[in-house]
């Protein structure tokens, strides 16, 4: 049973446009959500997080939105840059439980 | 601060052998978690250690084991390797258990032939 789902395996966006990566979860006990970015041959790098008491968190070009009623979160990247091309993982946790990761979305930003 | 380091970076083993992977966390971090990543899959949680004690364990067979030393360095061991164990094994550290922002190492790419 996949508790964290990233239904789009890949996404292509033109440089300068907005990238929107989506993530759905099923466990209502999850109260903390994170996005990680991964380049080939490197470990994932923490990008941004949000707790369930908020519905939006912003950090520079990156904004995460959380819709608790829909059990949905999204990562917006504006404007998208070629260096943003990577695999993006959504992760979730509740209490002291380990992080549960989605399968990732490969973002390609085309110059 | 130096990041999380993992050794070796690449490893080729034969079915039936065993393997030990090593992870050195960021200085001062006491929590170390291990994950397995296979093609098309997300990161699957293996186990977490904090102050030499296993705090959480994922849904993996007993062939997968780990330990943590007093200096917070951690090792994971896989015995009786199977072809399906071929994966990228990632180690992540955080300053304490229950802190969800984890910092990952580059991983060890294990190939079982």
Looking at residue B98, its pLDDT comes to 61
Check pLDDT > 80 for residue B96: no
Do B45 and A99 meet the contact criterion of CB atoms below 8 Å apart? yes
Does the CB of A8 have a partner CB in chain B at under 8 Å? Answer: no
Summary mean pLDDT of chain B: 93
Looking at residue B42, its pLDDT comes to 81
**Cβ within 8 Å, pair B106-A42:** yes
Q: Which residues does B83 contact at the CB level (< 8 Å), separation at least 6?
A: B15, B112, B113
List the helix and strand counts (H, then E) for chain A: 0, 11
Closest in A43, A46, A91 to B105, CB measured:
A43
Tens digit of each residue's pLDDT, chain A (111 residues): 789 999 999 999 999 999 999 999 999 999 999 999 999 888 999 999 999 999 999 999 999 999 999 999 999 999 999 999 999 999 999 877 888 999 999 999 999
Check pLDDT > 80 for residue B40: no
Closest in B4, B58, B103 to A98, CB measured:
B58
Does the CB of B39 have a partner CB in chain A at under 8 Å? Answer: no
Question: Of the given ranges (A65-69, B8-12, B58-62, B99-103), which has the lowest mean pLDDT?
Answer: B99-103
Closest B-chain CA to A40: B106
For B54-87, the pLDDT digits (tens) are 998 999 999 999 999 999 999 999 999 999 999 9
Q: Nearest C-alpha of chain A: how many angstroms from B55? A: 9
């Amino acid at each position: 049973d996949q508790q964290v789902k990233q239904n789009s395996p890949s996404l292509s966006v033109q440089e300068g446009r907005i990238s929107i990566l989506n993530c759905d979860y099923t466990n209502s006990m999850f109260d903390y959500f994170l996005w990680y970015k991964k380049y080939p041959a490197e470990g994932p790098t923490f990008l941004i997080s949000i707790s369930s008491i908020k519905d939006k968190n912003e950090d520079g070009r990156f904004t995460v939105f959380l819709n608790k009623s829909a059990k949905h979160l999204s990562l917006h990247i504006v404007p998208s840059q070629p260096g943003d091309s990577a695999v993006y993982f959504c992760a979730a946790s509740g209490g002291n439980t380990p992080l549960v990761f989605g399968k990732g979305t490969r973002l390609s930003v085309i110059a | 601060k130096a990041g999380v380091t993992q050794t070796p970076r690449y490893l080729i083993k034969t079915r039936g052998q065993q393997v030990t992977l090593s992870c050195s966390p960021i200085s001062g971090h006491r929590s170390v978690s291990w994950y397995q990543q296979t093609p098309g899959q997300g990161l699957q949680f293996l186990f977490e250690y904090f102050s030499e004690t296993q705090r959480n364990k994922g849904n993996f067979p007993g062939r997968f084991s780990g330990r943590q030393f007093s200096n917070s360095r951690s090792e994971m061991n896989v015995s009786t390797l199977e072809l399906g164990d071929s994966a990228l094994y990632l180690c992540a550290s955080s300053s304490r258990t229950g802190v969800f922002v984890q910092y990952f190492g580059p991983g060890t790419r294990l190939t079982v032939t």
